[in-house]
Amino acid sequence: MEATPICQAWLRPDGGKGIRNKVLVLYTVECSKHVAESIAAHFQAQHRDVDVTGSLACLDNQAVVQRMLAYCVHPNVGAVLIVGHGCEYIEPDRIRDFARAHGRPAEAFYLQKVGGTEAGIALGCRLVGEMLEKIEAGPRAPMYAHELIIGAKCGGSDFTSGIAGNAVIGKFFENLTAAGGTAMMEEVAEAVGLRGHLVSRAVNEDVARDVGLTYDKTMEFCRRLGRYSISPGNFVGGLTTIEEKSMGAVVKMGGCKIEGVLKIAQRPKHPGFWLLDVIPDDKPEPAFFFGGDATGLLDQIACGCHLVLFNTGRGHVGGTPVAPILKLTGNQETFDMLSHDIDFCAGSVLTGAETKAEAAERLWGLIRRICNGEQVHAERVGHRSVLGKSALGRAAVQIGNKQIERLAGPVAPGRRILDVEPLLLLARTGLAQLAASAHRLGRMGIDVVEHACIAADSQYGGQGQQSGRLGEPGQRFRTRGRHELVDPERGQYEQE
């Protein structure tokens, strides 16, 4: 990779450089989602660069707050509008102030205070119009390869994914990190059986320990939930087991060493290859599985990725807000069928028409053009999927009795009481009402005490105090109050 500038980037007041210049509209609860989407749609119809995402739940969730704050200061975002409803825990004014502190023009309002839906849409359109005028006149600066942060994910994997698409990504990541750039991947749940391999890639003993702990936590989570990241489509595509799929997934690393393990919405501390841990340590979220491919893409974007490489053997049509999603495949038939959705084909590696190095260089040429403004297909067709952790609150899943039983912890003979972790799992799948339904759970021999569901669904500082197991005799819960922003860099909250 050459040392000359790859593009003229958008220079942010905090020193970041973006390859896009977006106004981001955020909703803080599902009640304000319609207004936020209507505001964004008004400008998207004019082919203006306005994206929308947000949070559905009206209760506290530290991980969602971290993601939303990270999106506000993403290098591709030039300005932010936050639309609230008025009852939710996430406060638009606090997010606005965080964005402003990092040099972003930002505004916020509650629908309850501006006259409702129509007035909110009108106000939002006026504010976003003013923001666009301001940021479109913003400064530009040369951007170099060593300043890029690029993520990678696979979805709809087939037999070609590990030997073509992911292999080309791995070679590209070797080149990018050698040039001083930054790369990352998540999908630890798709590294089943490869603990030793991952640990051996760590740059030092401390990182090796972190990688091992992350792997162990992820595998325990998969076991507790009773499912792994493999689907019928993978079987149709020629993959037979999660272990086989995993061997192809980790090929995205190439020969890179792991510099460290990132947490949700954490930026890499220095260049190199990083592993992303997307399962919170304190309160695991099953939306990690149930939110769709957008979950892993959005979490890498929250860590600052300018764009994400998305390898799909079976095919994929999606995209996300905030950053371009460059979709590639190693399956020529898939590319021929979906050439208006998939941006790059690495099938030539299978036929011998290209080496991995040659395909990686061709991929680099496409990335350079995208950095210079060429749209990926998802941008061109307006595909901006937000079903994922950024919209955590209701994952469209069903959990049957057997799965509930698997999540329940044993207590007195003949009865079970949901402990903290299993109840949190239920709450995060959007089945909090099911968890609170004492008569249904009672028929299964599971006791849930008063307010237990509230305590479980209030996921960060608003979570109720607890000790031991929910349902102990005389145990009660209280929800905490509002929260103070104590770490602007990480966007963390603390209870008052």
- DSSP letter assigned to residue 444: T
Asked whether the predicted pLDDT for residue 355 surpasses 50, the reply is yes
Question: For residue 386, what pLDDT is reported?
Answer: 63
pLDDT at 127 over 90: yes
**What pLDDT is stored for residue 427 in this prediction?**
39
Q: What percent of the chain has pLDDT over 70?
A: 75
Q: Determine the residue type at 263.
A: K
Q: Are 248 and 166 in contact (CB under 8 A)?
A: yes
Torsion angle of C-alpha atoms 67, 68, 69, 70, degrees rounded to 10: 50
Whether residue 458 is predicted with pLDDT greater than 80 in this model: the reply is: no
User: Which pLDDT band holds residue 454 (cuts at 50, 70, 90)?
Assistant: very low
pLDDT at 130 over 50: yes
Pairing of strands 7-11, 258-262: unpaired
pLDDT band per the 50, 70, 90 thresholds, residue 62: confident
pLDDT the model gives residue 392: 39
Round the average pLDDT of the chain to a whole number and report it.
81
Distance CA 469, CA 115 (A): 45
pLDDT at position 461 is 30
**pTM over cut 0.95:** no
Closest by alpha carbon to 222, among 406, 470, 7, 38?
406
**For residue 437, pLDDT beyond 60:** no
The answer to whether residue 444 scores a pLDDT higher than 50 is no
132 contacts: CB under 8 Å, gap ≥ 6: 23, 43, 48, 49, 50, 79
pLDDT given for residue 385 in this prediction: 74
Q: How far apart are CA 314 and CA 55, in angstroms?
A: 30
pLDDT average, residue stretch 68-78: 97
Residue 226 has pLDDT above 90, yes or no: no
pLDDT at 183: 98
Pairwise CA distance, residues 105 & 94, whole Å:
14
pLDDT of 280 reads: 81
Mean pLDDT score, 254-279: 96
Among 165-174, 216-225, 243-252, 456-465, whose mean pLDDT is lowest? 456-465
- Tens of pLDDT, residue by residue over 377-432, are 999 999 887 644 434 333 323 333 444 444 444 434 444 333 333 334 343 333 34
> Among the residues of 140-236, which ranges form H helices?
166-178, 195-200, 205-225, 232-236
The predicted pLDDT at position 417 comes to 37
Confidence label for 478 from pLDDT (cuts 50, 70 and 90): very low
pLDDT at position 228:
84
Tens of pLDDT, residue by residue over 326-339, are 999 999 999 999 99
What pLDDT score was predicted for residue 473? 32
Tell me how far CA of residue 425 lies from CA of 61, 220, 374, in angstroms.
13, 13, 41
Q: Identify the CA nearest to 368 among candidates 35, 78, 59, 8.
A: 8
- Block residue for tokens 């690029």: 150
* Residue 489 in this model has a pLDDT that exceeds 50: no
Q: What is the pLDDT of residues 83-107, one digit of tens each?
A: 999 988 899 999 999 999 999 999 9
379: part of which helix (H) or strand (E)? Answer: helix 377-381
270-322, pLDDT tens digit by residue? 999 999 999 887 766 655 455 568 888 999 999 999 999 999 999 999 899 99
CA gap 253, 106 in Å, rounded: 37
User: What would the pLDDT profile of 383-397 be if each residue is shown by its tens digit?
Assistant: 887 644 434 333 323
Tokens 């996921």, residue? 459
Instruction: Name the band, by pLDDT with cuts 50, 70 and 90, for residue 225.
Output: confident
Query: What's the mean pLDDT in 240-253?
Result: 94
pLDDT score recorded for residue 295: 83
Residue 391 C-beta-side C-alpha neighbours within 13 Å: 24
